[in-house]
Amino acid sequence: MAPKRKAQTQEVAAEDGFELELEEAALSDQETYDKVRNQFDAVALSKRARAERGTDAASFMFKKCDQWDSNLKPDHMNRPLWIDDAGRIILESFSPIFDEAQDFLINIAEPQSRVSRMHEYSLTTHSLFAAVSVGHSTKEIMQRLEKYSKTPLSPTLCKFIEGSTSSFGKAKIVLKKTLSYIESDDPTILQRLLRDPQIAQCRADTTDGLIQEAAPQIGVMAIPGTKLAAGAKQVTQTTEPDQNPDNPQNVQNPGDMIAALREDDEDEEVAQVHSFQINKADRENVIKRCLAIGLPLTEEYDFNNDDVNPNLEIDLQPHAQIRYYQEKALSKMFSNSRARSGIIVLPCGAGKTLVGITAACGVKKSALVLCTSAMSAVQWRAEFLKWSNISPDDIAVFTAENKQAFPRQAGIIISTYTMITGSKTRSYDSEKVMKFITEREWGLLIADEVHVVPANIFKKVTYNIASHAKLGLTATLLREDDKIEDLNFLIGPKLYEANWQELSEQGHIARVQCAEVWCQMTPEFYSEWLKPSTVQKRAMLSIMNPRKFQACEFLINYHEARGDKIIVFSDNVYALEKYARKLKKAYIYGGTPQAERLRILENFQHNEAINTIFLSKIGDTSLDLPEATCLIQISSHYGSRRQEAQRLGRILRAKRRNDEGFNAFFYSLVSKDTDEMYYSSKRQAFLVDQGYAFKVITRLEGIEQQPTLSFRTPQERRELLLEVSLANESELGEERIAGDLFGSKFASKGGKAKRAGARRTAGTLSDLSGGQDMAYIETNKSRNKELKKKGVQNNFLRKMQTSHSNLKKANK
DNA sequence: AAAGGTGGAA
DNA sequence: CAGGATCCACCTTT
């Protein structure tokens, strides 16, 4: 703490205009930097807090505008950026140089929200770190910001950028011949590191000075699958103008000195690099320590010069043509012919898998792919075989049922996070494969869906597995907690983030109409809802709201008539089953056995008669349903933005997306005047930021004309209410089964926890229905007969339900 | 011996 | 913030 207790006053000042006074003379670089950074954070926080507090989210922006007005550059209309002192950047998307500016901003700033006319970014220490690590220099960042900004950059901001960039990304951790080196083009940085006792202790080589050698040639890396790799010399056609920042043609204003300066930079950098070696065992510690003292290391893998690890024979199939944004993302990873660790953010359905595969083809070393479920592990393998020419022997899946390693020197293993991190006792085979994995060196580690991996788990992964480069793939780099930050340091900076809107405009992902349907609660349900009761009960009531049910039914009818394939999501398993049964549709939840799921999905995809399925949370991830074109959400997990985004992602890859005028639909059904309203708005935040407009529908056109909707009479509604209430009570503890007409309690608790209990009760129930002894097995059969008797019309449905072997529930 | 249920874990 | 879903290892059964 500085002796001068100015913090208070400064914070107050910060609230209103953010005036900084720094006594630079008294402070070292590091201190200056810390101070600037702290104040930045404080300002950003207070602003955000104020905005979120909701007094008026927009007012401070207007205030900022007043300030900006005063010093606009004369030609400001040609410049697309508004930048304030706290690093908030507003980008006008209608600017002529929008593309150029956006490409640049994506590299240096964090996208906050990208709605159609204006995109908001914010400069953070971390985003600047990422910028430097993908090769932008301080000078370049400043100059280009200055170029795009409508107002002159404030000294505060300049100081911030300088402070962040000068210390970030200067030192790299590089593996050469499997040994770890800390490398930098500036020897003073290394000396500064070595002065730190903890780091010095980890040093491996015994030389006094530093190792010095010529820097590697910075060449254009040929990314497999691009025309460049195919041998075509016309690079400019395939690459976006801004992909290569060193391309002087990008400089629009010839008066700018950027190009010249940039070239100077290059010359300096190419000259020489210095390094010292560290003990491999201490690698984690060094990275951590460097982070702590403000000099984080970037991690790069010089795979071309790695002759210790055997090469893997893998190349993309000739027919695999990667798209420009995938190429852009990969070029960030592979510039200067090394593999850089980091995270690539692409919307679901935009080809994350292909990016991963291409990366593996680029590195051509053994690779380890980690995904969240065993199912997607199998899918990854299939994709590998489809897109690359890798021999099937070289690619193994390591899950509970499939424990293999590859027989040859190099290969690919696909596994799950749980399998790798699991600390419990393993079977002998698992142990063997784990040993195989931990004892070898991996060229590339691909982490699928990194956002779901809590940092501490991934720490374990990085600790256990020696991998030279790590690539994280995700669609939604956000979590409701703050663990996402840790990922930045465990894997690396975010290398690329695609813009959903842009991709959908170009037809890479489907266009989506989003709508929120507000359903009135019926009087019976609302008065019940108003009674003091538990959160669960209220939630249940709002989900089971008959009007919502009708809306759902109406939408299904409407979209089935249009020829859409519909997925209905419900987090609540009880509601899921209720809806699905009432509407005679197939449904899948956690308790549905594997074979059953596959059958249902198969039918959904290929059977003309099955156009709607109901899914529980299970459908959120790793279920590939390219047929779906319409999505209805009837209940959801509180305010989880990620879930919303991922569900939307389910329909983004719609096969028919390139049809003329094709639209996918996303409905969120919300019971009016309940908690759902609040959660719904919160959940949408991310999608809105990605530029999706949510329409609010309060009345469905033509719903009155539908004569066949369920729950039209108050009588039916009261029955439903009764059912729901009873189901709810029994759920809340007591083994109450009377009146539980559909045995729904057990359906909703399909999980293992209550299975034993369920079985016992099922016995009792089957007593009631006449199956006297060994009730458990018999239950199914008698139930099936019942179903047949009831005359289920739909062939498929009957077939499906007959073989629904996991029915712990007894139907009345 | 496959297939499927159970329990524990995170 | 809690409960659901998932995964794995072990244990039973045509």
CATH classification of the domain holding A605: 3.40.50.300
Among positive and negative, which fits the CA dihedral A52, A55, A58, A59?
Answer: negative
The gap between A372 CA and B9 C1' (Å) is: 16
3-state secondary structure (DSSP) of residue A276: strand
3-state secondary structure (DSSP) of residue A403: strand
Give yes or no for a contact between A538 and A674, defined as CB atoms under 8 angstroms apart: yes
> Within 10 A of A307 (CB to CB), how many other CB atoms are there?
8
Beta bridge pairs of residue A444 = A367, A469
Give yes or no for a contact between A377 and A489, defined as CB atoms under 8 angstroms apart: no
- CA-to-CA dists, residue A690 to A363, A514, A653, angstroms: 32, 12, 17
Rounded distance between C-alpha atoms, residue A34 and residue A591, angstroms = 53
Please check whether strand C approaches the CB of A422 to within 7 Å. Answer: yes
Per-residue model confidence (pLDDT) at position A418: 83
Residues whose beta carbon sits under 7 Å from strand B: A 423-424, 457, 593, 595, 752, 755-756, 759, 805-806
Query: Is the domain of A535 the same as that of A492?
Result: no
Give yes or no for a contact between A88 and A120, defined as CB atoms under 8 angstroms apart: yes
Rounded distance between C-alpha atoms, residue A253 and residue A75, angstroms = 12
Of A177, A180, A147, A18, the closest CA to residue A75 belongs to A147
Q: Which nucleotides of B are covered by protein (CB under 7 A)?
A: 4-10
Please check whether strand C approaches the CB of A426 to within 7 Å. Answer: yes
Stretches in chain A below the pLDDT threshold 50: 1-27, 50-60, 63-65, 228-269, 732-812
Tokens at residue A778, please? 């018999």
- The residues, any chain, with a CB within 8 Å of residue A392's CB and separated by 6 or more, are A385
Q: In terms of C-beta density within 10 A (0-12 exposed, 13-18 middle, 19 or more buried), how is residue A99 classed?
A: middle
The gap between A555 CA and B7 C1' (Å) is: 41
CB-to-strand C under 7 Å, chain A 583-602: 589-591
Per-residue model confidence (pLDDT) at position A490: 77
Residue with tokens 């919502």: A548
Nucleotide nearest to A398 (CA to C1'): C8
Rounded distance between C-alpha atoms, residue A174 and residue A275, angstroms = 9
- Residue A149 in domain: yes
- In this complex, the residue with its CA at the shortest distance from the C1' of nucleotide C1 is A638
**What are the respective helix, strand and coil percentages of chain A, to the nearest 5?**
50, 15, 35
- Residue A804 in domain: no
Per-residue model confidence (pLDDT) at position A773: 27
The gap between A537 CA and C11 C1' (Å) is: 38
Among positive and negative, which fits the CA dihedral A596, A598, A602, A605?
Answer: positive
How many domains does one find in chain A? 5
Rounded distance between C-alpha atoms, residue A159 and residue A353, angstroms = 40
CB-to-strand C under 7 Å, chain A 600-629: 616-618
The gap between A720 CA and C2 C1' (Å) is: 27
- CA-to-CA dists, residue A795 to A480, A578, A735, angstroms: 43, 20, 35
The gap between A379 CA and B5 C1' (Å) is: 26
3-state secondary structure (DSSP) of residue A180: strand
The gap between A80 CA and C3 C1' (Å) is: 48
Please check whether strand C approaches the CB of A638 to within 7 Å. Answer: yes
Query: Is the domain of A724 the same as that of A751?
Result: yes
Of A780, A607, A746, A646, the closest CA to residue A349 belongs to A646
A494's enclosing H/E stretch is strand A494-497
Q: In terms of C-beta density within 10 A (0-12 exposed, 13-18 middle, 19 or more buried), how is residue A734 classed?
A: exposed
Q: In terms of C-beta density within 10 A (0-12 exposed, 13-18 middle, 19 or more buried), how is residue A486 classed?
A: middle
- Residue A800 in domain: no
Phi-psi region for residue A306, left (φ > 0), alpha (ψ -120 to 50) or beta? beta
A633 alpha-carbon distance from chain centroid: 20
Per-residue model confidence (pLDDT) at position A389: 93
Query: Is the domain of A226 the same as that of A123?
Result: no
Query: Is the domain of A221 the same as that of A324?
Result: no
Task: Give the DSSP letter of residue A693.
Answer: P
- Residue A812 in domain: no
- Residue A74 in domain: yes
End-to-end CA distance of chain A: 72
Tokens at residue A420, please? 């790798």
Rounded distance between C-alpha atoms, residue A687 and residue A649, angstroms = 11
Rounded distance between C-alpha atoms, residue A600 and residue A588, angstroms = 8
Q: Of the residues A113, A146, A165, which one is the last residue of a structural domain?
A: A165
Per-residue model confidence (pLDDT) at position A559: 94
> Within 10 A of A433 (CB to CB), how many other CB atoms are there?
20
Query: Is the domain of A341 the same as that of A364?
Result: yes
Q: Residues in chain A, how many? A: 812
Tokens at residue A558, please? 């409407």
Give yes or no for a contact between A770 and A610, defined as CB atoms under 8 angstroms apart: no
Beta bridge pairs of residue A807 = none
- The residues, any chain, with a CB within 8 Å of residue A456's CB and separated by 6 or more, are none
Please check whether strand C approaches the CB of A811 to within 7 Å. Answer: no
* Residue-wise burial string across A450-461, b where 16 or more C-beta atoms lie within 10 A, e elsewhere: bbbbebeebbeb
The gap between A593 CA and C10 C1' (Å) is: 19
Query: Is the domain of A510 the same as that of A629?
Result: yes
Q: In terms of C-beta density within 10 A (0-12 exposed, 13-18 middle, 19 or more buried), how is residue A559 classed?
A: buried
- CA-to-CA dists, residue A80 to A84, A106, A119, angstroms: 13, 14, 10
Query: What letter represents residue A632's amino acid?
Result: I
Crossing angle of helices A98-108/A125-133, nearest 10°?
100
The gap between A777 CA and C5 C1' (Å) is: 26
Tokens at residue A789, please? 């008797």
- Residue A26 in domain: yes
- In this complex, the residue with its CA at the shortest distance from the C1' of nucleotide C5 is A590
- CA-to-CA dists, residue A27 to A22, A80, A338, A438, angstroms: 9, 36, 37, 46
Tokens at residue A53, please? 């507090």
Rounded distance between C-alpha atoms, residue A161 and residue A402, angstroms = 50
Please check whether strand C approaches the CB of A454 to within 7 Å. Answer: no
The gap between A614 CA and B2 C1' (Å) is: 31
Please check whether strand C approaches the CB of A573 to within 7 Å. Answer: yes
Tokens at residue A767, please? 């007593």
- Residue A776 in domain: no
Residue A557's domain comprises 505-770
3-state secondary structure (DSSP) of residue A334: helix
Give yes or no for a contact between A203 and A338, defined as CB atoms under 8 angstroms apart: no
Query: Is the domain of A704 the same as that of A643?
Result: yes
Among positive and negative, which fits the CA dihedral A344, A350, A354, A358?
Answer: negative
Rounded distance between C-alpha atoms, residue A107 and residue A90, angstroms = 15
The two beta strands, A664-671 and A630-635, are parallel
Residue with tokens 């189901």: A727
Q: Which nucleotides of C are covered by protein (CB under 7 A)?
A: 1, 4-10
The backbone torsions φ and ψ at residue A400, rounded to the nearest 5 degrees and listed phi first, read -60, -40
Nucleotide nearest to A423 (CA to C1'): B9
CA Rg value for chain A: 29
Rounded distance between C-alpha atoms, residue A272 and residue A355, angstroms = 32
Query: Is the domain of A26 the same as that of A67?
Result: no
- CA-to-CA dists, residue A578 to A572, A586, A614, angstroms: 10, 11, 10
Q: Of the residues A165, A193, A225, which one is the last residue of a structural domain?
A: A165
A269's enclosing H/E stretch is helix A258-271
Model confidence over A377-404: pLDDT tens digits?
Answer: 888 898 999 999 999 989 988 888 888 8
Give yes or no for a contact between A354 and A388, defined as CB atoms under 8 angstroms apart: no
Query: Is the domain of A472 the same as that of A536?
Result: no
Per-residue model confidence (pLDDT) at position A216: 63
Query: What letter represents residue A280's amino acid?
Result: K
The gap between A158 CA and C6 C1' (Å) is: 48
A126's enclosing H/E stretch is helix A125-133
Query: Is the domain of A550 the same as that of A698?
Result: yes
The gap between A543 CA and B10 C1' (Å) is: 29
- Residue A810 in domain: no
Please check whether strand C approaches the CB of A480 to within 7 Å. Answer: yes
Query: Is the domain of A583 the same as that of A722?
Result: yes
Beta bridge pairs of residue A695 = A515
Query: Is the domain of A280 the same as that of A368?
Result: no
Tokens at residue A47, please? 């602003």
Give yes or no for a contact between A335 and A245, defined as CB atoms under 8 angstroms apart: no
